[in-house]
Amino acid sequence: MPNSDSLHRQWFESESFWLDYAPVLFDEERWSEAADVAESVVRLAELEPGSRILDAGCGPGRIAVELAAIGMKVTGVDLISAYLEAARESAAAEGVAIEWIRDDLRRFRRPNAFEAAVSLYTSFGYCRTSKEDFLILNNIADSLKPGGCLILECVSRETALSQFTPGEEFERGGFLVKTRFKRTDGNRGLISQWDIDNGKIKRSHTFTQRLYSTDELKAFFINRGDFRSIKFFGNWNGAPFDADADTMILLAKKSAE
């Protein structure tokens, strides 16, 4: 496995970014939907009570706590110390036991340990290289037991292009938010600028997300050779994935043997 020196340092390793943008990223609406998302994860993955789940990029524990509350054994992994501390507090408040690990998903790997793994809320595609992006997917896939299930929610290239907008302006979490978007790298990437201002805190951040098509993601799992089923949905209710999809949810099931 790569050591810390062999990995590019990324913007998403910045504690200050996640603290400044937390009210916008994790507003009341995001928290209110967490229980329904957790229920959908269990339903789509066909999990039994007590199943072990890896929440890869768990953030402040929004989904992990809800999964634990409905009987799952959860391990949450994230790089940001402040988010993990908030997650611990949320878990304690709900009276659920969760294993929290501070680690880089480009390094974290626990072979054959989980019945399911999730990477949610568009947490995939931000590494500097596609090699690092797929290293994360490989690590998550390796961590699944035979017959295990991986659920990945992210922006696909198809919907990013069909639903493209140059920007928006809205209020969220007490902030005025202005966004600007630009396609790059032959429509394989999306440059996003997010400006937030609540009168006291004013921040601007620009980042690039690499966009993967459903064909590319499907090919990754097929080429591994140990996945038997790859499906795509357009929302958490299991709607077909198409140009009008709310999001892209990939459900990949590992072979039982």
The string of pLDDT tens digits covering residues 135-175 is: 999 999 999 999 999 999 998 999 888 899 999 999 999 99
Q: Does residue 6 form part of some domain?
A: no
109 and 168 within one domain = no
Per-residue pLDDT at 53: 98
Count of structural domains within the chain: 2
Cβ-contact 125, 212 below 8 angstroms:
yes
Per-residue pLDDT at 157: 93
170 and 91 within one domain = no
Q: Does residue 3 form part of some domain?
A: no
Q: Does residue 95 form part of some domain?
A: yes
Task: For the chain, count helices (H), then strands (E).
Answer: 8, 11
Give the number of C-alpha atoms closer than 13 A to the C-alpha of residue 134, restricted to the C-beta side. Answer: 13
89 and 74 within one domain = yes
Q: Where are the beta strands (DSSP E) in 82-143?
A: 99-102, 114-119
For CA atoms 27, 63, 21, 180, give the dihedral sign: negative
Q: What is the mean pLDDT of the chain?
A: 92
173 and 84 within one domain = no
Structural domain span for residue 184: 160-207
Please state, in angstroms and rounded to a whole number, the distance separating the CA atoms of residues 76 and 187: 32
Q: Does residue 135 form part of some domain?
A: yes
Q: Which of 207, 222, 241 lies at the terminal end of a domain, its last residue?
A: 207
Q: Is 0.85 topped by the overall pTM?
A: yes
